[in-house]
């Protein structure tokens, strides 16, 4: 009985080791800062989203990446099903910016509050992110 148990455990460990090794050799080690998702850019943005894009680039892109693709080891993509409007409504963006975010969905650590942005600056950022999301099938 014990032998059988040990066999199963060691088979499992071997399988995991193989899996980890295979993953690393096949895809290479995951590079810090590399994009987490690939994002289709819509052909046109609304006027509000164009303003939002500028606000986004100067306040959010350092962490969430160009076009909100996320960055390995830094911050999640905002073009992601988790951030669809029914799960993270527009107000959750306002709160995230005003108060910061305690790490809960990912392992990147906390997001600090972002200073010097008004609610309307953030409304424009949300418009930009929503238009990116929609162009990527996230409603
Ligand atoms: C210093 C890096 C950093 C900057 C700058 C930053 N974020 Fe974040 N943000 C994060 C991290 C890390 C998380 C993930 C927290 C978690 O684990 O859920 C996050 C999460 C979020 C969330 C999800 C909130 C929730 O309720 O789960 C939103 C929305 C968001 N960020 C919007 C923004 C916007 C908009 C800006 C620019 C105004 C911005 N972030 C700037 C790091 C950053």
C-alpha of residue 51 to centroid of ligand 1, in Å: 19
C-alpha of residue 50 to centroid of ligand 1, in Å: 20
Distance CA 74, CA 120 (A): 26
The pLDDT value given to residue 11: 67
Ligand 1 shell residues, CB under 6 Å? 59-60, 62-64, 75-76, 88, 92-93, 96-97, 101, 103-106, 108-109, 111-112, 114, 117, 125
C-alpha of residue 126 to centroid of ligand 1, in Å: 12
> What is the residue with the minimal CA distance to atom 23 of ligand 1?
96
The pLDDT value given to residue 31: 86
Count of CB atoms within 10 A of residue 37's CB?
15
User: What is the CATH code for 47-135?
Assistant: 1.10.760.10
Please list the pLDDT of the chain residue by residue as tens digits (139 residues).
667 766 666 666 666 555 555 555 556 677 889 999 999 999 999 999 999 999 999 999 999 999 999 999 999 999 999 999 999 999 999 999 999 999 999 999 999 999 999 999 999 999 999 999 999 999 9
Distance CA 8, CA 131 (A): 50
> What is the residue with the minimal CA distance to atom 2 of ligand 1?
63
Q: Are 63 and 110 in contact (CB under 8 A)?
A: no
**Angle value at C-alpha 111, between 75 and 72, nearest 5 degrees:** 10
Q: Are 58 and 50 in contact (CB under 8 A)?
A: no
Total-model pTM: 0.85
Cα–Cα nearest to 23, from 34, 32, 35, 15: 15
Distance CA 133, CA 139 (A): 7
The pLDDT value given to residue 30: 78
Q: In the chain, where are the structural domains located?
A: 1-30, 47-135
């Amino acid at each position: 009985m014990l032998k059988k148990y040990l066999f199963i455990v060691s088979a499992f460990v071997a399988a995991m080791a193989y899996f980890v090794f295979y993953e690393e050799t096949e895809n290479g080690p995951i590079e810090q800062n590399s994009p987490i998702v690939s994002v289709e850019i819509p052909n046109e943005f609304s006027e509000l989203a164009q303003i939002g894009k500028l606000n986004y680039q100067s306040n959010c892109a350092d962490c969430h990446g160009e076009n909100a693709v996320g960055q390995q080891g830094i911050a999640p993509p905002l073009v992601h099903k988790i951030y669809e409007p029914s799960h993270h409504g527009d107000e959750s963006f306002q709160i995230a910016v005003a108060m910061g975010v305690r790490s809960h969905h990912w392992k990147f650590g906390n997001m600090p509050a972002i200073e010097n942005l008004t609610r309307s600056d953030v409304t424009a950022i949300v418009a930009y992110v929503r238009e990116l999301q929609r162009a990527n099938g996230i409603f």
